[in-house]
Structure 1
Amino acid sequence: MFLEIVTPEETLYSGEVESVSVPGMEGDFQMLDNHAPIVSLLTRGTVKMYGNITLDSSVANKFSKGNGTTDFKIQGGVLEMKDNKAIVLAD
């Protein structure tokens, strides 16, 4: 599936992932390929990307690696998943 992580300042990631886990209002949830369309508010937490993630060197310091994931901390935001493309608008 295709994932974009966007902040008000810049697009931090745009590329393919195996799956992504996000901090929803009712708890963390994960999306895989062909997930049903969804729009969800996100709360403070960690966006976890699974797969062979290649980060641009200009933003790599904003992410951390751990246990097979590439993680990005957010204060909140919105997620839209549609047509095998997930967009995280993060604060």
Structure 2
Amino acid sequence: MYLEIVSPEASLVSGEVESVTVPGVDGEFQMLNNHAAIVSLLAEGEVRFQGNPAITIGYENKFTQKNGKWVMHINGGTIEMKDNKVIVLAD
């Protein structure tokens, strides 16, 4: 599936991933390929994804790696999953 993470400053990540885990306001949840369409608010926490999408030059310091997954801390935001495309609008 395709992942794009966008912040107020720039598009931070774009490319193919195997999974995405986000901090929903009602608890953490994970999306895999062919997940049902969803729109949700995000709470403060970690967005984790597995794969090797392109990280925008100059924003690499926003990401770390833990247990083979990329991790980014967010203060909140929204997420949309539709047709194997995940868009995270992160604060």
- Normalising by structure 2, we get a TM-score of 0.94
Unaligned runs of 5+ in 1: none
Percent identical across equivalent pairs?
Answer: 59
Q: CA RMSD in A?
A: 1.0
Structure richer in strand, relative to its length: 2
**Distance across 1 between alignment mates of 2:15 and 2:53:** 8
Following TM superposition, the consecutive aligned residue runs of length 4 or more in structure 1 with deviations greater than 4 angstroms are: none
**Distance across 2 between alignment mates of 1:56 and 1:11:** 7
- Normalising by structure 1, we get a TM-score of 0.94
Matched, 1:85 2:79: no
**Distance across 2 between alignment mates of 1:53 and 1:69:** 12
Unaligned runs of 5+ in 2: none
SS in 2 for 1:19: strand
* Amino acid aligned to 1:33: N
Q: Where does residue 15 of structure 1 map in the other structure?
A: 15
Matched, 1:37 2:32: no
